[in-house]
Amino acid sequence: MLGTPAILPERGIGDRLTALFWRRPRVLLALLLIPPLVWLGVVYLGSLVALLLQSFYSIDEFSGVVKQEFTLKTYAELFRAQNLDIILRTVLMAALVTLASAIIAFPIAYYAARFARGRWKAVFYLGVMLPLWSSYLVKVYAWKLILAREGILTWIADHAGAGPLLARALDEQWFGGASLSTSPVGTFIVFVYIWMPYMILPMQAALERVPATMLEASADLGASRAQTFRSVILPLALPGIVAGSIFTFSLTLGDYIIPQIIGNSARFIGLAVYQFQGTAGNLPLAAAFAVVPIMIMLVYLGIARRMGAFDAL
Amino acid sequence: MTPAVEFNAVSRHFGTVKAVDGVDLTIAEGAFFAMLGPSGSGKTTCLRLISGFEKPTAGGIRIFGQDVGAVPPNRRNVNTVFQDYALFPHMTVRDNVAYGLMVKGVDRRSRLEKAEELLALVKLPGYGERKPGQLSGGQRQRVALARALINEPRVLLLDEPLGALDLKLREAMQDELKALQKRLGITFVFVTHDQHEALSMADSLAVFNDGRIAQIGTPEDVYSRPQTRFVADFVGSSNVLPPELTAALGGPSKWASLRPEAVRLVPMGHDGTVKTVRYLGAGSRVVLEIGGTEIAAMVPAGQPIPETGAQAAIAFDPRALHVMAE
């Protein structure tokens, strides 16, 4: 159009800011980054450092007062049989929960990524997210009822003729108990249930990014379904599986509510931290216990990296 | 001789969409066969029917005389160069190429040796250690080609193999693919929407339209003697003349096709108005309107070009007028 100006007039503060950000792109970047950096740097990392410091202090066994001197004594205490027990139990539980979550989540995530379209995709997201909308405590207590001796699982087992089998399993000293709700098996089931969405969602996102032609190329070159799964799908979905497992693994490592409500009151790391900083008043040992999951996660990520989990990122 | 691929009244319907509809097709062994057509014409679905990624809803497919109705893709000795190449991003180029041998259980040393051989064949020796992400489009395509050839397939399928390459690379690859096919003697079947590519590379081709084959023959056949208006228009954009105009220009009263390069502009003759002039480098394409029909003429470089809106007349050798069945 002839007659319109070559440069349009400024329309106020919005245009002035746009012009500023165009001339100096770094200003916008700084404005965007400063609040989260303050949060991350001061509030988050700061408290983490404070926690680390605490773990290098020790407690006076007679007076119960924290001695603010640098020592590794508290860490040495972690290796006492009863404390080591807690750590090993927690790591084993976290590993089993992660493994079970991955195995159960995979078909669901695969279906959602490859086959679900339109309405079914919405149903999938709703189904996976719905449990996250209700209170964690309510869900755990609901599971206590489900797993109770009079609960529906035992009832189903009895009516399906698997009652004796369940009773035999619960007799097992290693993971059994008076009922499912007071046995480690119960703890395991509830952990898997509660953390499942955190495994499904990243897995589904990773699987969605594997192009369908990749799978066709594999079949085209002569691979069976199992070979395609092993050589193409699994390596390409690995970042998602690792991301999901970081959630399930670290959440299990730190949780202190589920083992309190469901299970045989054997202690887990989270519960130990809770008790040492609370009733026992041993803040240094609680801090040392809290460092354990961090170290375990670092080792875990190191292994995942070695396995090439992040190569495709 | 048994044909490499045979379609017998093959259909592939997706609900109400007839992607492929009653196609009969025979591809001879050792042929360089092109499936040409606009997008959505069913050519890619036909390719996927050969590789086994689509199942026919009706009809039968034979590969070297054997019915493949119940044979899954991984057991067909047919390999594909995918349009997006579909290289495995987490594997090195060498492992990508060797993949077909790996899944067959060939030991690591011999399969990597063979992969190196094939990389040399596609002129990428020494690229084995790289990841596909570090290669250019043209290099990726060569890797995809090497990977598809390592199993020594009886038929090689290529889905728009040159579509993503720039013009110069595309022309070089055309010659190379042709030479490679001659050397290996494998039947090549390739899908393209580019008529120049189909005409210059294939030794026979099928033109697809709406899920059916409009014409099948040698490039010369299809180009010079189109059987339908669609083929005339799509393959090399011939002028399509309605019966009245054919008669007015001295032919029979039938649909006819006339190649733009056969049309000359002359001072006197059948009058028309110049609608558009498009400069193409080697010449100019001048479109005239004559009796309500647009007729294109190729004017070689160096000859006078009329202005848009000017009056002009055309002349042509009557033998260039090709009468069509419909």
What domains, with CATH codes, occur in chain B?
5-230 (3.40.50.300), 243-323 (2.40.50.140)
Inter-chain residue contact A219 with B74, CB threshold 8 Å? yes
Secondary structure class of A117 (helix, strand, coil): coil
Tell me which amino acid residue B63 is: I
Q: Where are the beta strands (DSSP E) in B15-146?
A: 17-27, 32-36, 58-63, 66-67, 78-81
Digit-coded pLDDT (tens) for B48-81: 999 999 999 999 999 999 999 899 999 999 999 9
pLDDT (0 to 100) of residue A58: 85
Q: Which residue of A has its CA nearest to B51?
A: A220
pLDDT (0 to 100) of residue A66: 80
Instruction: State how far the alpha carbon of A312 is from the alpha carbons of A210, A211, A237, A299, B289, in Å.
Output: 11, 13, 9, 20, 58
Inter-chain residue contact A214 with B148, CB threshold 8 Å? no
- Can you tell me the distance from the alpha carbon of B109 to that of B120, in angstroms, rounded to the nearest whole number? 17
Residue among B231, B225, B297 nearest B266 (CA): B297
Give yes or no for a contact between B5 and B25, defined as CB atoms under 8 angstroms apart.
yes
- Can you tell me the distance from the alpha carbon of B146 to that of B120, in angstroms, rounded to the nearest whole number? 9
Inter-chain residue contact A220 with B147, CB threshold 8 Å? no
Burial class (CB in 10 A: 0-12, 13-18, 19+), B138: middle
Interface test with B, best of A216, A220, A232 (most B CBs within 10 A): A220
Helix segments in B70-166, DSSP class H: 93-104, 108-121, 137-149
- Kindly indicate the confidence band of residue A204, based on its pLDDT and cuts at 50, 70 and 90: very high
For residue A155, tell me if it sits in a domain: no
Please, which residues 128-147 of chain B have a Cβ atom closer than 8 Å to chain A? 147
Q: In terms of residues, how long is chain A?
A: 313
Q: How far apart are the first and last CA of chain A?
A: 48
Residues 6+ apart with CB under 8 A from A40: none
Handedness of CA B99, B104, B108, B110 (dihedral sign): negative
- Kindly indicate the confidence band of residue A157, based on its pLDDT and cuts at 50, 70 and 90: confident
**Contact status of B9 with chain A (Cβ, < 8 Å):** no
For residue A28, tell me if it sits in a domain: no
For residue A208, tell me if it sits in a domain: yes
Which chain A positions have a beta carbon within 8 Å of B148's beta carbon?
A: 220-221
Tell me which amino acid residue B203 is: D
- Can you tell me the distance from the alpha carbon of B88 to that of B100, in angstroms, rounded to the nearest whole number? 12
Inter-chain residue contact B51 with A218, CB threshold 8 Å? no
Q: In terms of residues, how long is chain B?
A: 326
User: How do beta strands B5-14 and B17-27 pair?
Assistant: antiparallel
Q: Which residue of B has its CA nearest to A211?
A: B86
Greatest CA separation for chain B = 76
**Contact status of B151 with chain A (Cβ, < 8 Å):** yes
> Higher pLDDT residue, A163 or A247?
A247
Which chain A positions have a beta carbon within 8 Å of B72's beta carbon?
A: 219
- Can you tell me the distance from the alpha carbon of B299 to that of B149, in angstroms, rounded to the nearest whole number? 44
Q: Is the pLDDT at A52 greater than 70, yes or no?
A: yes
**Contact status of A162 with chain B (Cβ, < 8 Å):** no
**Contact status of B100 with chain A (Cβ, < 8 Å):** yes
Which chain B positions have a beta carbon within 8 Å of A220's beta carbon?
A: 51, 53, 73-74, 78-80, 148
Phi, psi of A49 (to 5 degrees): -65, -45
What count of CB pairs under 8 Å joins A to B? 69
Residue B207 per-residue DSSP state? E
Which chain A positions have a beta carbon within 8 Å of B82's beta carbon?
A: 213, 216-217
Flag the least confident range among A15-29, A58-72, A111-125, B64-78: A58-72
- Can you tell me the distance from the alpha carbon of A199 to that of A242, in angstroms, rounded to the nearest whole number? 9
For residue A285, tell me if it sits in a domain: yes
Inter-chain residue contact A236 with B72, CB threshold 8 Å? no
**Contact status of B86 with chain A (Cβ, < 8 Å):** yes
- Kindly indicate the confidence band of residue A312, based on its pLDDT and cuts at 50, 70 and 90: low
The residue whose two tokens read 């598809």 is B148
Which chain B positions have a beta carbon within 8 Å of A236's beta carbon?
A: 88-90
DSSP string, B145-196: HHHHHTT--SEEEEESTTTTS-HHHHHHHHHHHHHHHHHH--EEEEEES-HH
Give yes or no for a contact between A223 and A231, defined as CB atoms under 8 angstroms apart.
yes
For residue A238, tell me if it sits in a domain: yes
For residue A108, tell me if it sits in a domain: yes
Inter-chain residue contact A224 with B74, CB threshold 8 Å? yes
Which member of B72, B79, B83 has the closest CB to residue A221?
B79
User: How do beta strands B155-159 and B187-192 pair?
Assistant: parallel
**Contact status of B73 with chain A (Cβ, < 8 Å):** yes
Inter-chain residue contact B90 with A227, CB threshold 8 Å? no
Inter-chain residue contact A221 with B100, CB threshold 8 Å? yes
**H or E element in which residue A191 lies:** helix A184-208
- Can you tell me the distance from the alpha carbon of B23 to that of B27, in angstroms, rounded to the nearest whole number? 13
Digit-coded pLDDT (tens) for A81-138: 888 999 999 999 999 999 999 999 999 999 999 888 888 888 988 988 888 888 889 9
Digit-coded pLDDT (tens) for A103-117: 999 999 999 998 888
- Can you tell me the distance from the alpha carbon of B262 to that of B244, in angstroms, rounded to the nearest whole number? 20
**Contact status of A37 with chain B (Cβ, < 8 Å):** no
Residues of chain B with pLDDT under 70: 236, 268-270, 326
Inter-chain residue contact A220 with B80, CB threshold 8 Å? yes
pLDDT (0 to 100) of residue B326: 64
pLDDT (0 to 100) of residue A313: 53
pLDDT (0 to 100) of residue A1: 61
- Can you tell me the distance from the alpha carbon of B111 to that of B103, in angstroms, rounded to the nearest whole number? 11
> Higher pLDDT residue, B269 or A297?
A297
**Contact status of A214 with chain B (Cβ, < 8 Å):** yes
The residue whose two tokens read 């990773």 is A206
Inter-chain residue contact B73 with A218, CB threshold 8 Å? no
Task: Taking each helix axis as running N to C, give the angle between helix B93-104 and helix B137-149, from 0 to 180 degrees, rounded to the nearest 10.
Answer: 20
- Can you tell me the distance from the alpha carbon of A210 to that of A297, in angstroms, rounded to the nearest whole number? 27
Which value, in Å, is the radius of gyration of the alpha carbons in chain B? 23
Secondary structure class of B26 (helix, strand, coil): strand
For residue A114, what is the domain's CATH number? 1.10.3720.10
For residue A49, tell me if it sits in a domain: no
For residue A110, tell me if it sits in a domain: yes
Domain count, chain A: 1
Give yes or no for a contact between B141 and B85, defined as CB atoms under 8 angstroms apart.
yes
pLDDT (0 to 100) of residue B268: 67
- Can you tell me the distance from the alpha carbon of B316 to that of A306, in angstroms, rounded to the nearest whole number? 73
Phi, psi of B295 (to 5 degrees): -120, 125
Which chain A positions have a beta carbon within 8 Å of B103's beta carbon?
A: 218, 221-224, 227, 231
Residue among B218, B235, B207, B203 nearest B33 (CA): B203
Tell me which amino acid residue A138 is: V
The residue whose two tokens read 């043209």 is B138
Q: Is the pLDDT at A61 greater than 60, yes or no?
A: yes
- Can you tell me the distance from the alpha carbon of A70 to that of A181, in angstroms, rounded to the nearest whole number? 43
Domain that holds residue A263: 73-143+173-306
